[in-house]
Amino acid sequence: MSQEQPRRPYQAQDAGIRYGDVFPVGGDLADRPVAPRDAAMMQTAESMVFGHTPKGGAAAVMESAAARNEQRRAVGHSQFSDIPRDKGVIFTQTDIPGQPGYRLVTEYVAGQVLVHTNRPEGQGGGGNRGAGGQESGAGIAAMWGDKVTIGEALEATAKTAGDKPVEPSDAAAIQAAESAATGVSTVLTNGVAAAAQAAVVTNTWADREDDETKLGDVLADAATRMPADKEATRQDAERVVGAEIRSSPNLEMRPGGVAATVAAAARLNEPNR
């Protein structure tokens, strides 16, 4: 009769499937293996927001990755990833300027964007919620407060898409945002728009991705670098969205980028949202 082998503790035999392998995230989150309890939390949140778990959505991807990681013994069955629990899972929904009847839905984990999609208004569950079931005030309201300025929206972009290299469409959107905030139509010397334009030139000649200037480098302190600021409005959002789309090779907004974040801020500021 063979002797039963002792059960090993849950220790990673390999790194497992990490968030950075399946989602466009950066920082510490990118290196964290996707854990079963993370996937369960996202599934709960999607069920509350959409009424079901969408095929190919963030929860489905996380469940598949977590199951593989558990098989590889990279994570335990009841394990959470080592990510900030106070940020958790957050959804935002906001009207898209120029696309009546559609909403921009963004799913966040630990403050970073996992999935960013357009959905017909009224599709799925009601409202924007965190995984705990409470209203999140369009998600980012908890981060920003009741009223959001354009400068604060730019700084929030440094968190949602800060690891992305600055592209011409980003620079165009940043210039439109700076102009809307300050009332000055020209690019300000030493302003955030000037920094973004310089970053585009630098990135054109960069040999490696590590050498490229990222959105986080340009926008981390945007609000304090602008000589004036104002609350984001729908008109501001339309201006920024238009600038970003016109300068995009695919005529699209960057997920979690400048235009999407300013649009979310404008939506939060509406008195009857």
Q: pLDDT digit string (tens) for 192-213?
A: 999 999 999 999 998 887 789 9
Cα(256)–Cα(105) distance, rounded to whole angstroms?
A: 10
The answer to whether residue 162 scores a pLDDT higher than 50 is yes
Cα(153)–Cα(266) distance, rounded to whole angstroms?
A: 9
Kindly state the tokens that stand for 88.
């958790």
The answer to whether residue 178 scores a pLDDT higher than 90 is yes
The answer to whether residue 105 scores a pLDDT higher than 80 is no
Cα(215)–Cα(229) distance, rounded to whole angstroms?
A: 19
Cα(39)–Cα(158) distance, rounded to whole angstroms?
A: 25
pTM equals 0.52
DSSP state of 135: B
First-to-last alpha carbon distance for the chain, in angstroms, is 70
How would you classify residue 29: left for phi > 0, otherwise alpha for psi between -120 and 50, otherwise beta?
alpha
* 196 or 11, which is more confident: 196
The answer to whether residue 1 scores a pLDDT higher than 50 is no
